[in-house]
Chains A and B, each alone.
Chain A
Amino acid sequence: MSKIGVFICHCGENIAAKVDCTRVAEVLGDHPGVGASVEYKYFCSDPGQESVKRAIRENNLTGVVVAACSPRMHEATFRKACAEAGLNPYMCEIANIREQCSWVHNDGEQATDKAIDIIRSMVEKVKRNNMLQPIEVPVTRRALVIGGGIAGIQAALDIANAGQEVVLVEREPSLGGHMAQLSETFPTLDCSQCIMTPRMVEASQHPKIRLLTYAEVEHVDGYIGNFKVKVRMKARYVNKDTCTGCGECITKCPQKKLSSEFDCGIGKRTAIYTPFAQAVPNKPVIDKDNCTYFKNGKCKVCVKSCPLDCIDFEMQDEFIDLEIGAIVVATGFQVQNNAVYGEYGYGKYADVINGLQFERLASASGPTSGKILRPSDGKEPENIVFIQCAGSRDPSKGVKYCSKICCMYTAKHAMLYAHKVHGGKSNIFYMDIRAAGKGYDEFTRRAIEEDEAGYVRGRVSKVWQENGKLMVRGADTLLGRPVEVAADMVVLATAMVPQPDAKDFAKVVGIGYDEYGFFNEAHLKLRPVESSTAGIYLAGACQSPKDIPDSVAQASASASKVLALFSKEKLEREPVIAVNNEATCAGCWGCVLACPYNAIEKKDILDRSGKVIKRVASVNPGLCQGCGTCVTFCRSNSIDLAGFTEKQIFAEVMGL
């Protein structure tokens, strides 16, 4: 038999001025199952809380309804007080008679009637409350960082420097990501590799970081604090334990004309290669698809040239199983394929290149050793046209968003060009200049005022070749007239788009993605570094286009989230989660479809001999966030939501 205590708070005059608390206490005192019904000026005060605790002990109350302000204010306060009096805290509920009653109604009588309804409804709910226990989830203190660009490296270093173990997985043969490809970085023009490579080395030598390059995450299972991850170590065909990175094999490899991915196709590499000179680890891999031996069964020049017998053509992919507590996804971006703009001639004219290719031309470690030279004939261009928003902000090409970094890097490109090619003329076609950021607008002003970048506001309609020049036709919308420029080179400020396999990868890891394939954060404003799956965090351009400072900031933020999770051995969570009745579950998996968190698993029910007799839904308490969408989906009424059960809600309705 229930003995519910009803505590009606005056909140000074806030409630009592409109609601006749004495009448409310009388009416509720006569309600079946109510063991005590009292009013007081301020129940949230210390004496108020003490009186609640005393009433619980003296009357052996089985539940408590505090009729006061919003539960968003003091639910925690009164649940704590109940716990201190020996009552399960989840047997306490708040009836909101201030924000949703006394403050919003003029008529005292009507407000009093409404208050009675609200409290009675809550009393009926509490009668059916269950004694819930907070959920404890053990936490494996080891983080997995996926992606070895600047965001992944930053997150890994931050976590490792705090003393926690990190596994850093990179799918390319070397750490570095896109930042390693850049020439100089805005707004300070410091050399990208000069600031990047020390970080790469630090990450590779850190005692708390286990570095897995040329590796891909194959499978992720489990939940916050307890992920099980399978990583595929792709065969390098070079024993990386014995290889010293002397580079003999690379020099001798006869296959020298392969297009270098790192140089974005404007440089060449060999079949056994490291992506770039400062690669970490500085140990080569064999490109199986283009290696003469793998193609023809003959060659083995690398085997002969290797002084330490490191080449092994028999090597197979290996799999590593990891136990992980938290995951940081930092898989980065790619640049859009500009071939979508047929009118700009990308892919047709060798001297129409994208921004990342220009970075390689301008980089001291690039194929031209930092000289700006035309890919077609190796001549220095006297006139360059830059086209901004080549892809971004163009819904017809599927990219509605602003890529955020192009205004800045185009200004930087114009500056680098002015510094490297004296007397060179640059024209930049732009829609808007978006230079929001510390020192950013000053930087674009510098490009215009000191380095004489010619900004033309308008779009380019066509690029074609004529007499060895690239003719660029566009509009100057400020002057309201068409413009034609004869250029030696055209650089497209290409859109940043998600990795080609981002959506598949999101499904492997179990996180959400947006219409483009960028990974979804749990809340755009308030939880921007958490994914929608507990224990998985996001860093860098895999979430949205970002520049280096933003990527680094987000990486550090996700590292701090990981460290907060690792600060305790066990994770304690509110027990408002879905609970399945396995006896009635029919295994229709409607709940699996409904769940936004992948929290519902399929569980085998075995008989004594170990035979599967039934498969039912099983809610993972580590993943369930307690929205209750699955409950409404359940056809056999098997799933219920602790704290908001069907019984409780029906009782609330009937109590009104």
Chain B
Amino acid sequence: MSEQFEPEIVAFVCTYCTYAGADLAGTSRLKYAPNVRIIRLPCTGRISPMFILKALQKGADGVLISGCHPGDCHFTHGNYHARRRWMVFRALLNFIGIPPERIKYSWISAAEGLKFADLINSITEDIRKLGPFEQYDKLIAETEAQASL
């Protein structure tokens, strides 16, 4: 393969910490991989596991969830809810055959522009190594094939 694989990654972030951290990376003119698309939410507590599945269904190869550090949540404990939900959801991912390595979870504060840039670079590399996410392609194809019978 001559051309390297460019993964598509969807990030669900909270507006108070990680979105602001991403803005700081921008104002600091840090350069990072262009593979991530950000969806802004008020709080990581708003993130439904369905969003992650939807992103994968749409063709994302990886998903990032990032919010305020523990104890820093603007809404006092939305990030704790998100973390608990993620712990449960990770177990489910294994069960449904999605490698949990494709879903990344992190805390990035509004002051951590550099950490944001580093994180995007590292997860892009990680997901690139995992290759394209094709499990759902097969699933969708199978479902469609059955439907046509």
Proximity bits, A622-656, B CB within 8 Å = 1, else 0: 00011111011100000001001010011011101
* Contact residues, B10-25 vs A (CB, 8 A): 10, 15, 19-20, 22-23, 25
- Contact residue among A99, A117, A632 (Cβ-Cβ distance under 8 Å from B23): A99
B29 within 8 A of A: yes
A532 within 8 A of B: yes
Most chain B C-beta atoms within 10 Å of own C-beta, residue among A101, A118, A628: A628
A594 within 8 A of B: yes
Q: Which chain A residue lies CB-closest to B14?
A: A627
Cα A111 to Cα B34 in complex, Å, equals 7
B132 within 8 A of A: no
In the complex the two chains form, is B34's CB within 8 Å of A114's CB? yes
Which B residues are in CB contact (< 8 Å) with A576?
42
CB distance from A629 to the nearest CB of B (A): 3
Cα A72 to Cα B40 in complex, Å, equals 11
Which A residues are in CB contact (< 8 Å) with B7?
none
B117 within 8 A of A: yes
In the complex the two chains form, is B30's CB within 8 Å of A121's CB? no
Which B residues are in CB contact (< 8 Å) with A99?
22-23, 25-27
Cα A520 to Cα B75 in complex, Å, equals 12
In the complex the two chains form, is A653's CB within 8 Å of B45's CB? no
Cα A363 to Cα B51 in complex, Å, equals 65
A367 within 8 A of B: no
In the complex the two chains form, is B75's CB within 8 Å of A596's CB? yes
A110 within 8 A of B: yes
Interface of B is mostly: mixed
A512 within 8 A of B: yes
In the complex the two chains form, is B42's CB within 8 Å of A627's CB? yes
- Contact residue among A104, A631, A633 (Cβ-Cβ distance under 8 Å from B32): A104
Which A residues are in CB contact (< 8 Å) with B43?
627-629
In the complex the two chains form, is B29's CB within 8 Å of A104's CB? yes
In the complex the two chains form, is B46's CB within 8 Å of A644's CB? yes
In the complex the two chains form, is B78's CB within 8 Å of A104's CB? no
In the complex the two chains form, is B85's CB within 8 Å of A632's CB? yes
How big is the B interface, by class? Answer: 35 or more
In the complex the two chains form, is A627's CB within 8 Å of B46's CB? yes
A98 within 8 A of B: yes
Cα A156 to Cα B34 in complex, Å, equals 56
- Contact residue among A70, A113, A117, A121 (Cβ-Cβ distance under 8 Å from B26): A70
B54 within 8 A of A: yes
Cα A163 to Cα B107 in complex, Å, equals 46
Q: Which chain A residue lies CB-closest to B12?
A: A649
In the complex the two chains form, is B78's CB within 8 Å of A596's CB? yes
In the complex the two chains form, is B117's CB within 8 Å of A627's CB? no
Which B residues are in CB contact (< 8 Å) with A70?
23, 26
Which B residues are in CB contact (< 8 Å) with A140?
none
A314 within 8 A of B: no
Closest 4 CB pairs of A and B: A99-B26, A628-B46, A629-B45, A627-B75
Q: Could you list 16 examples of A-B contacts with CB < 8 Å?
A: A99-B23, A105-B34, A107-B34, A118-B37, A512-B76, A532-B76, A626-B42, A627-B46, A627-B75, A628-B45, A632-B46, A644-B41, A649-B51, A650-B50, A653-B58, A656-B37
6 further A-B pairs in the complex, CB-CB below 8 A; given A96-B38, A628-B43, A628-B78? A100-B22, A104-B117, A632-B48, A644-B42, A653-B51, A656-B58
